[in-house]
Chain A
């Protein structure tokens, strides 16, 4: 078993409205910043022990499927690195 950190990034699916990101963008613009677009995402860093990186990825992917993301509104990706 080795120690891994799986990073799960959950973001609104393309085309799904993200009012919090829009509000944040407007606030940045009010502060005088020039920007073309802004997208938000949630990032979860999960420390876990697994036989190998593939097993760590599989477990983190299941976490995303079952709880961290809602497939109706979210896309997610999983990156695995040694902790």
Chain B
């Protein structure tokens, strides 16, 4: 069997890197934390851009890390088919780096929000959602101040036409409503795919809903993409 080693990239200010590694360990996926300046290890079979506050969210959340040299290596690896997942600050980095469409900016509330949310699987034909059914609702936590998904109207239409929306914020019964949108995201978008299905970002934290000891395991399916 091939050795699978997922690189969880740590930037200055990342703080969900250990959570991601532990969650992957729980699923039997070998993962290592990689300091960004060390570059991607040669045997990397997957990449996690973890949550946190890289570079103090200076300029915009994710803007500095998006221009770190390792992102070029991540881009090349993604081009060769390596799965790449950005979670929370990692999603902001992915957007700023152009790995995925749109941008994540200040919550409509202008406040940091830390709470469980429901999200609906919009496209189950991806590695990140193969464990779920289309339309399935899962409960995962969010913890962000800049999670409002913004995108130009014509790009949004393209996203829908090409099935790039991965998750939408929804009610517990799956209905997509404005009230279920915690941060004012355009069209309730909580997660999107890049050009290829194996590149994805989302604001909610699947790694915080993976370990049974934490009381919620709905996020496991997302991380199983690396298994």
Contact = CB atoms under 8 A, between A and B. Distances in A.
Nearest to B150: A73
B58 to A, nearest CB: 11
Nearest to B67: A67
A19 B103 contact: no
A60 B95 CA distance: 23
Contacts, number: 36
B107 A70 contact: no
B63 interface: yes
Nearest to B149: A72
Contacts of A16: 105, 150
A22 interface: yes
Interface of B: 59-60, 63, 67, 95-96, 102-103, 105-110, 148, 150-152, 184
Contact of A20 (B96, B102, B106): B106
29 contacts: A16-B105, A17-B108, A17-B148, A17-B150, A17-B184, A18-B106, A19-B107, A19-B108, A19-B109, A19-B110, A19-B148, A19-B184, A20-B106, A20-B110, A23-B110, A67-B59, A67-B63, A67-B67, A68-B59, A70-B60, A70-B63, A70-B103, A70-B105, A72-B95, A72-B102, A72-B103, A72-B150, A72-B151, A73-B150
Please list the 4 inter-chain residue pairs (A to B) with the smallest Cβ-Cβ separation, ordered nearest first. Answer: A19-B110, A72-B103, A23-B110, A19-B106
Q: Contact size class for A?
A: 10 to 19
B100 to A, nearest CB: 11
Interface string A22-37: 1100000000000000
B61 to A, nearest CB: 10
B90 to A, nearest CB: 17
A35 B67 CA distance: 39
Given A17-B148, A22-B110, A73 B105 contact: yes
A73 B95 CA distance: 12
A74 B63 CA distance: 14
Given A19-B107, A19-B184, A23-B110, 16 more contacts: A17-B150, A17-B184, A18-B106, A19-B106, A19-B108, A19-B109, A19-B110, A19-B148, A20-B110, A67-B67, A68-B59, A70-B60, A70-B96, A72-B95, A72-B150, A73-B105
Contacts of A72: 95, 102-103, 150-152
A17 B148 CA distance: 10
Contacts of A73: 103, 105, 150
